[in-house]
Amino acid sequence: MPTYQLFATTPKAMETILSDELQALGIKNIKATMAGVAFQGDLETAYRACLWSRTANRVLLVMSSFDVKTQQDLYKGVQKIDWSEHINPEDSFAVSFSAKNSAAINNTHFGALKVKDAIVDQMRAKFQVRPSIDTEQPNIRINVYLHGETAQLSLDLSGESLHRRGYRDVSIKAPIKENLAAAMLLRSGWPQIAKQQGSLIDPMCGSGTLLLEAAMIAADYAPGLLRDYFGFTGWKKHDAQCWKKLRAEAEQRKKIGLAKLPVIVGFDQNRHTVNTALAHIANAGLQNKIHVERRDIADAEPAESWKPGLLICNPPYGERLGDEQETAELYKKFGESLKKHFIGWKAAMIISNPELGFRLGIRSQKPITLFNGALECKLLRLDIQEKNFFIPKARNQEERIAQAIESEQSESVGAEMFANRLKKNLKKLSGWAKQNRITCYRVYDADLPEYAAAVDIYQGQQTWVVVQEYEPPKSIDQHKADQRLAGLLAEIPRVLGVNRDQVFLKIRRKQKSTDQYEKHGDQGRFHIIEEGCCKLLVNFEDYLDTGLFLDHRPIRMLIQKQAQGKRFLNLFAYTGSATVHAAMGGAKSTTTVDMSNTYINWAKQNLALNTGNPVGEHEFIQADCLEWLATEAELGNRHYDLIFLDPPTFSNSKRMDEVFDIQTDHVQLISHAVSLLSPGGVLYFSTNFRRFKIDKQALSDLIVDDISAATIPEDFARNPKIHYCWRIQE
């Protein structure tokens, strides 16, 4: 067999794992590069990589390299290959093209067309018949990568990404891809644990990806065995006998491996998700090999007969105020469960916010960087032993702060610095607010690191001040932080000229998932403020937030400006302030959707305060926005000219059927919303998740404009990552 230059692609930060994997397959001359590994070998080597690699995306067979200084150079370079050696005239092919730092071609679609034309023209000239294009399952798939002035043309032996094993229902979006799950398991020492018959548990198993990848690793089950299509099967140089031999060898290894599979168990609180995991397990032929049941994280514990092994999961994460607290509570419960039931086990989890790892109360090894799509994450690995336990710092500060104020244990010198900064900010912003007729604005936002709090002014019949404290740095003693906050609260009434009972402190209290829409008090005192000719109700005592997100002021004003004669849809509407702005801007009709009855009633009161009539052309719907949007997108009966979509970062509320994660679910969410747009309609999509990366490739058929900078108001200029916002059209 001839020797070929080969290249296996993999997600960023997984190159070393892939190198180790290829080396274990007996492959030599390996060289890791950015997002891939180059190696040499014959067809059997290439086929073995396609069949056995758990972390690669694609295996490319390099056919040629050539210089490209003009568009015609690309065409000529492709035509130098005799394509009749690779496909028949009546066969099909597909082209993927990418370019980096190229002056000749920077439009990938144009590059792909140029490659296609070169092949088609050559075959038509030789046979008077041209091959067809098939983007789903072509006979061969051609990959061209143009870097600067050098093009590398390859045959894609994988056909479609190797992470698609064949067991997943393609209509179900998973939070992690199969090769990332495999990388997590390999980096967590699962192969060694499995050889010693250690058990594996995923207490938040979702659709079962980690369970299935763990079983396939433990059983020596080749990840490519379930696939019925590879990029080489329709290639004229395909060695069918070699491929048949490799598959037979893999089937035998799988049969032997399944006979000694250790205990593998998954838990999840959602019954729909459990059913999905069971279906995927059946698709992989692993019925009765993996146990899955519906169980809450607090009840996740091993049976006495299960040998200690590895607990691994992909837990959710959150950054917005409410989301962070809900997620922190989940991690705390998880840590308590680990300490109570899993002494002697190993644990691993992938998280995007390393701070959440401290909520577990268990020291970890050095985190490993991995990427979940475009999002940088950390793989935490824990040895669950009592010597590694620690108590996370408490966050319930109400009593400590109240005592500090009462005993006047405030920091007077530092508080004077805070007071001076607050005066300076007030002088600057009050003029800006008056000029722009803004009555509610942020006047201080952790300007001084020692005084890490946000101070918001609300002006109506009188002036109210809302203070939200930020978690102090770990270098700051908790008692010292309490003294500083007490000093801050003592200075605010004096500087802003308000009574102490007009200052409200919001403590970032941890939330349970069921608390998201519930009251934190029962004072029932609502106040009216004005914004852009709209009257809105706010509450400073009963809820975590006041009912009005001040950073969204510009987008609400933009909606009001554009709403004339439009049909407006407000999703995840909260208290309906955007609806009020649309109505006051002359919207033809409005639809307001939120899961909370409390917020729907609040939105109705807000609208009635302005129009006197909360019904008629204004529709209010209490529903799970995800479910409602998916249903309406499928029915296709509703159409809107203007849509505002501001979902939470994540939610595992029991009121929702599925766990929602903005990073993994935003493409489907946006696609459903766009399907409700009328021709020429506009969708405004916003998120407060600071590490959010929009998947423009998956949304490439849409016009996606980042308008974040234009939607950050002057009073939030110090915190430009408070939210991101996009204008989206078809």
The residues, any chain, with a CB within 8 Å of residue 686's CB and separated by 6 or more, are 552, 555, 644, 645, 646, 711, 723, 724, 725, 726
Burial of 633 (0-12, 13-18, 19+ CB in 10 A): middle
CA-to-CA separations, 418 to 37, 454, 505, 535, in angstroms, rounded: 54, 12, 17, 32
Q: In this predicted structure, what is the pLDDT of residue 529?
A: 96
- Say which residue, 653 or 246, is predicted with more confidence: 246
Q: In this predicted structure, what is the pLDDT of residue 593?
A: 97
Tokens (6 digits) for 670: 């946006």
Tell whether 234 is covered by a domain. Answer: no
Q: Which CATH number belongs to the domain containing residue 77 in this structure?
A: 3.30.2130.30
CB 56 within 8 A of CB 96: no
Tell whether 170 is covered by a domain. Answer: no
**Residue 492 structural domain:** 398-510
Q: What is the pLDDT of residues 685-718, one digit of tens each?
A: 999 999 999 999 999 999 999 999 999 999 999 8
Alpha-carbon distance of 228 to 224, in angstroms, equals 9
Query: SS in 3 state form for 391-455?
Result: CCCCCCCHHHHHHHHHCCCCCHHHHHHHHHHHHHHHHHHHHHHHHCCECEEEEEECCCCCCCEEE
Tell whether 165 is covered by a domain. Answer: no
- Say which residue, 115 or 325, is predicted with more confidence: 115
Instruction: Clarify whether residues 364 and 282 are in a common domain.
Output: yes
Q: Which CATH number belongs to the domain containing residue 607 in this structure?
A: 3.40.50.150
SS3 503: strand
Tokens (6 digits) for 268: 């999840």
Q: What is the pLDDT of residues 306-348, one digit of tens each?
A: 999 999 999 875 544 345 567 777 888 899 999 999 999 999 9
Instruction: Clarify whether residues 417 and 373 are in a common domain.
Output: no
Instruction: Clarify whether residues 579 and 601 are in a common domain.
Output: yes
Is the pLDDT score of 66 beyond 80?
yes
Is the pLDDT score of 499 beyond 80?
yes
Instruction: Clarify whether residues 299 and 213 are in a common domain.
Output: yes
Instruction: Clarify whether residues 645 and 672 are in a common domain.
Output: yes
Q: In this predicted structure, what is the pLDDT of residue 457?
A: 97
Instruction: Clarify whether residues 372 and 422 are in a common domain.
Output: no
Q: What is the pLDDT of residues 188-240, one digit of tens each?
A: 999 999 999 999 999 999 999 999 999 999 999 999 999 999 999 999 999 99
- Say which residue, 653 or 480, is predicted with more confidence: 480
Instruction: Clarify whether residues 94 and 202 are in a common domain.
Output: no
Give the count of domains, the chain: 4
Residue where one domain finishes, among candidates 335, 369, 388: 388
DSSP 597-649: HHHHHHHHHHHHHHHS-SSTTEEEEES-HHHHHHHHHHH----EEEEEE---S
Q: What is the pLDDT of residues 377-418, one digit of tens each?
A: 999 999 999 999 987 654 444 444 554 454 444 445 568 889
CB 582 within 8 A of CB 604: no
Instruction: Clarify whether residues 500 and 563 are in a common domain.
Output: no
Instruction: Clarify whether residues 371 and 424 are in a common domain.
Output: no
Q: In this predicted structure, what is the pLDDT of residue 658?
A: 61
Tokens (6 digits) for 119: 């092949």
Among the residue ranges 83-97, 267-281, 487-501, 550-564, the one predicted with the least confidence is 487-501
Strands 660-661 and 58-67: unpaired
Q: What are phi and psi of 148, to 5 degrees?
A: 65, -115
Comparing C-alpha atoms, which of 596, 588, 592, 595 is closest to residue 604? Answer: 592
Q: In this predicted structure, what is the pLDDT of residue 186?
A: 98
Among the residue ranges 78-82, 544-548, 640-644, the one predicted with the least confidence is 544-548
Tell whether 194 is covered by a domain. Answer: yes
Tokens (6 digits) for 125: 């000239």
% of the chain at pLDDT higher than 70: 90
Alpha-carbon distance of 480 to 276, in angstroms, equals 50
Instruction: Clarify whether residues 613 and 495 are in a common domain.
Output: no
Q: Which CATH number belongs to the domain containing residue 462 in this structure?
A: 3.30.750.80
Residue where one domain finishes, among candidates 448, 478, 510: 510
Instruction: Clarify whether residues 220 and 366 are in a common domain.
Output: yes
Comparing C-alpha atoms, which of 233, 270, 263 is closest to residue 156? Answer: 233
**For the chain, what is the mean pLDDT?**
90
- What is the mean predicted confidence (pLDDT) over 134-140? 95
Q: What is the pLDDT of residues 509-537, one digit of tens each?
A: 443 333 334 444 556 789 999 999 999 99
Instruction: Clarify whether residues 220 and 314 are in a common domain.
Output: yes
DSSP 167-233: -S-TTS--SS-HHHHHHHHHHTTHHHHHHTT--EEETT-TTSHHHHHHHHHHTT--TTTT-S--TTT
Tell whether 570 is covered by a domain. Answer: yes
Query: SS in 3 state form for 637-685?
Result: CCCEEEEEECCCCEECCCCCCCCEEHHHHHHHHHHHHHCCEEEEEEEEE
Tell whether 171 is covered by a domain. Answer: no
Residue 208 bridge partners (DSSP): none
Tell whether 603 is covered by a domain. Answer: yes
Tell whether 164 is covered by a domain. Answer: no
Residue where one domain finishes, among candidates 460, 481, 510: 510
DSSP letter at 359? Answer: G
